[in-house]
Amino acid sequence: MAPKDKDSTPPKKKVLDLIEEPKVQSRRDRQRAAQTVADTPAPPSALDKAKAAALDIFEDAGKKKRTTVRKTEQSGKSALPTISKLLEEEPAPAPEVPATPPPSAASVSPVVPVAEEPAAEEDTGNIISIKPPIIVSELAARMSLKPFVLLADLIKLQIFVAPHQAIEPDIAARVCELHGFIFEREKREKGGGVHKIEEVVVEPAAPQDEPEDLLQLRPPIITIMGHVDHGKTSLLDYIRKSTITKGEAGGITQHVAAYKVEHEGKPITFIDTPGHAIFSDMRARGADITDIVVLVVAANDGIMPQTLEAIEHAKKAKKTIIVAINKVDLPSANVMRVKTQLAEKGLQTVDYGGDVEAVEISALTGVGIPALLELLALQAEVLELKANPKGNARAAIIEARVQPGRGATASVIVETGTLKTGTPFICGPFAGKVKSLINDRGESVKEAKPGTPVEVIGFDEMPNVGDSLVEMDSIRAAQKLADERQLDRRNDRLQLTRKSRMEDLFSNVIDGTGKAALKIVLKCDVQGSVEAIKNAIGDIKSDKVNTQVIIAAAGPITEGDIQMASSADAVVLGFNVKVEANAVKAVKSEGVQVKLYSIVYELIDQVREAMLGLLEPLTRENIIGHAEVRMVFKLSKSKGRAAGSYVTDGKIHRKSHARVIRGGVPVFDGKMSTLRRFQDEVDEVKSGMECGIRLGEFNEYQEGDIIECYTLEKIPQGL
Ligand SMILES: Nc1nc2c(ncn2[C@@H]2O[C@H](COP(=O)(O)OP(=O)(O)OP(=O)(O)O)[C@@H](O)[C@H]2O)c(=O)[nH]1
């Protein structure tokens, strides 16, 4: 595949140019660029929009852009020869390297050696190659930048790391591109010790601030929220049925996750799936596509707990709220009461002197619904919702399911670009190609424009709600990115089990691998205990282990504390405090150790014992392999089900422990009860082979589950 250079310079010449003129971008230019990035004002809803806002910086005046990344392979199969090979063929350019190269190239040879050992990483002009782990400070040094400049870029990508921490290759490629560098990942070849440089495929960035002339109005995307039984479904049904023409009536009986209606020639898209779920699933993934929230409140019931929750969600996401006061046909309806309650919750309706639009409707009789649609269309005009239909296609997954005869399908709403049949795509960790598109009326269509809901057929695996389906150049590039993401996920899972634990602390010191630092997030009931405990911990002396209290504060253990502990690899110690519900989830997903105490001395003693290696011996997990469930077999009644699996890496061992992982989350953990190859019980099955697996009494296997096999190793105690 030809490299995607912006100009027409042939690939070979381009590389030589880079070598001959390493001053592709001066340090000042780069610093200015970095400063511009650092100065870019944060968008109003910093957290959920940060990713999109940050991706903005990779767009060149809104133009669609793919990150470069042609690399060299020793095999020479690549379209671009290795740099060293080029130099062999054309040795002339070497002496032309400027006598005083710019800082980034000062200590750099233009030749990338193909060595027996992975040599020290070398820069070639503006090409940076680093073998993972890619440490932020090291990458910054290669670009002659201060680490904080890269950290600012990374924060805009919602990546919160410290300078000494590692980032993923595709992220490195993005920040490199931002500063005028090309990132290449080096990889050590198995066995031979020779390293080759790998292609890094990057997902095209989400477009922001496209040039005005490319943008066209798109339909607003509406999510309906409200308390149970207040009439959300009835309202959606009424709108759908009342806005279709008679001839189409037959086509709307099937369930759709979203549909588009027209009100007086203006299109409006409704998401027809439980508002709360879609909100939390999608917002959790930063794929927040709703433009307007319609808050349904039953006039006879008034504001109820889920109404409040919906208000919270919508406010947090900074969405425009339009209130539909429903069931006004009922004699018990009390519209005034609803408006008063709304005002008490900070939603002052227009007739109460506020700016929240409210419409009185009946989803049963249809009263007020045209007025509601009118208001939505008007609001959309005010919001000036636009997208570039010619840009790179990007769509948000709002529902995914397996359909007989179609396999895994997903309902998506196109955010930008035009999604067409035949388009190769990446969606989370899966690659695919759009085989067909079905619109909300069950008709097959060739394409879907921004704001349009459509069912996509062409997934090999079921995608996750909230993930983005993004058009890629080729199925090969999509597959490559998918492979990398799957590998990263596996590595992430492995790392989860490697988080710091107090019990492990001293064993790290013993085997010489540890940093010998116990990092602590300390949360206490009152500030007085915070100070007292922090001082007491500081007084514990050990010549092998240091403590570092990275947070010391009063209050419950929050999700933020867990995130901080996770990124700093710290343990969380709580004194007389509870763990908030969200934090409990984070503890599970991040694998952070939390220890709670109600006696000060117990806390201090445990820290001391950890530092002296006196805590209970602990078992450590060693992951030995993974298998993917390809088919679920029903055994005779008493025996339940077995998982027909394919060993994807390492090996599966009958005497080991194993867990079933679904969508990245462990759903069962236990001992292997059966391991078979065909009819035979076997002890071990290696990578690339199929086998039948049963774990304990577990029977709920699903295709696509990952079985992770591990052994437990006892960590020796103390000195
Ligand atoms: N009288 C009257 N009844 C309504 C109206 N809208 C909905 N209902 C009735 O209220 C009940 C609940 O309506 P749904 O549309 O299922 O409410 P929902 O909010 O979708 O409920 P969940 O899906 O359970 O959250 C049903 O029996 C509807 O027929 C209305 O405007 N007037």
Per residue, what are the HEC states of 181-247?
CEEEEEEECCCCCCEEEECCCCCCCCCCCCCHHHCEECCCEEEEEECCCCCHHHHHHHHHHHCCCHH
Does 153 show up as a binding residue in the annotation? Answer: no
How much distance in Å is there from the Cα of 369 to the middle of ligand 1? 15
- In sequence order, the 6+-apart residues with CB closer than 8 A to the CB of 617 are 503, 714, 715, 716, 717
Which residue type sits at 27? R
Distance from chain centroid for Cα 7: 33
Give the integer Cα–Cα distance in Å for 705 and 17.
Answer: 49
Measured by CA distance, the residue closest to atom 12 of ligand 1 is: 229
Determine the average pLDDT of the residues in 11-16. Answer: 32
The overall longest dimension of the chain from CA atoms, in Å, is 92
**Tens digits of residue pLDDT in 527-544:** 888 888 998 888 887 777
Stretch 508-526: mean pLDDT, rounded? 69
Return the minimum-mean-pLDDT range out of 229-233, 370-374, 587-591, 664-668.
664-668
Q: Is 58 left (phi over 0), alpha (psi -120 to 50) or beta?
A: alpha
CA of 388 to the centre of ligand 1 (A): 38
Three-state DSSP state, 611: helix
pLDDT at 579 over 50: yes
The DSSP annotation for 672-713 comes to EEEEEETTEE-SEEETT-EEEEEETT-----TT-EEEEEEEE
pLDDT band at 466 (very low <50, low <70, confident <90, very high): confident
> Which H or E run contains 138?
helix 136-142
Q: β-pairing, 665-677 with 594-597?
A: unpaired
State mean pLDDT over 314-325: 89
Rounded mean pLDDT of 639-658?
87
| CB of residue 364 inside a 6 A radius of ligand 1 | yes
Sequential DSSP letters for 4-52: --SS---HHHHHHHHHH--TTS-HHHHHHHHHHHHHSPPPSSHHHHHHH
Q: SS3 letters for 503-525?
A: HHHHHHHHCCCCCCEEEEEEEEC
Which one of 229, 237, 270 would you pick to mutate in the ligand 1 pocket, going by the greatest count of ligand atoms within 8 A of its CB?
Answer: 229
Return the pLDDT at 281. 54
Q: Which residue has the higher pLDDT, 295 or 670?
A: 295
Determine if residue 39 is labeled as part of a ligand binding site. Answer: no
pLDDT score for 61: 31
What are the structure tokens assigned to 665, written together? 């989350």
Strand partners, 459: 432
Burial class (CB in 10 A: 0-12, 13-18, 19+), 541: exposed
Evaluate the CA torsion angle 279, 280, 284, 285 in order and state its sign: negative
The predicted model gives 682-690 an average pLDDT of 89
Measured in angstroms, how far is the CA atom of residue 366 from the centroid of ligand 1? 13
Q: β-strand 266-271 against 221-226: which pairing, if any?
A: parallel
The preferred substitution site among 228, 230, 234 for testing ligand 1, maximizing ligand atoms within 8 Å of CB, is: 234
What does the alpha-carbon distance between residue 327 and residue 304 come to, in Å, rounded to a whole number? 15
Residue type, 506: F
**Arithmetic mean of pLDDT, 276-296:** 68
Nearest ligand 1 atom, CA 330: 1
**Which residue, judged by its Cα, is nearest atom 21 of ligand 1?**
229
User: Strand 657-662 relative to strand 665-677: parallel, antiparallel, unpaired?
Assistant: antiparallel
| More confident of the two residues 45 and 432 | 432
User: Quick check: 269 pLDDT over 90?
Assistant: yes
277 lines ligand 1 (CB under 6 A): no
Q: How far is the CA of 39 from the centre of ligand 1 (A)?
A: 49
Question: What was the pLDDT predicted at 70?
Answer: 33
CB-ligand 1 contact for 21 (6 Å cutoff): no
Q: Which helix (H) or strand (E) holds 424?
A: strand 424-427
Spatial neighbors of 121 by CB under 8 A, at least 6 apart, are 128, 129, 130, 131, 142, 186
Q: Is 123 helix (H, G, I), strand (E, B) or coil?
A: strand
Name the more confident of 79 and 591: 591
Residues with Cβ within 8 Å of residue 419, at least 6 apart in sequence: 393, 395, 412, 434, 437, 447, 448, 454, 456, 469, 471
The 3-class SS string of 436-493 reads EEECCCCCEECEECCCCEEEEEEECCCCCCCCEEEECCCHHHHHHHHHHHHHHHHHHH
Closest CA to 439 of 458, 453, 419: 453
Pairing between β-strand 127-130 and β-strand 134-135 as defined by DSSP bridges: unpaired
CA of 230 to the centre of ligand 1 (A): 5
pLDDT for the residue 620: 61
What mean pLDDT is predicted for residues 120-130?
Answer: 63
Q: Is 626 annotated as a binding residue?
A: no
pLDDT of residue 607: 86
- Let me know if 505 is exposed, middle or buried by CB neighbors in 10 A (0-12, 13-18, 19+): buried
The pLDDT of residue 8 is above 80: no
Q: Among 7-11, 415-419, 667-671, which range has the highest average pLDDT? A: 415-419
Give the ligand 1 atom nearest the CA of 234: 15
- Dist. CA 253 → ligand 1 center (Å): 19
Q: Is the beta carbon of 590 within 6 A of some atom in ligand 1?
A: no
pLDDT class of 377 with cuts at 50, 70, 90: very high
The annotation status of 274 as a binding-site residue, yes or no, is yes
Q: Where are the beta strands (DSSP E) in 65-179?
A: 123-124, 127-130, 134-135, 166-167
d(CA 339, CA 347): 8
Q: What is the pTM of this model?
A: 0.50
Helix, coil or strand: residue 137: helix
Mean pLDDT estimate for the chain = 73
Eight-state DSSP code of residue 121: P
In angstroms, the CA 258 to CA 665 distance is 28
Contact 578, 602 (CB under 8 A): no
Q: Where are the beta strands (DSSP E) in 559-663?
A: 571-575, 594-597, 619-634, 641-653, 657-662
The pLDDT tens digits of the residues spanning 148-183 come to 888 888 877 767 777 777 787 878 888 888 888 888
661 forms bridges with which residues in the sheet?
666, 706
Give which of 665, 668, 719, 664 is closest to 693, Cα–Cα. Answer: 668
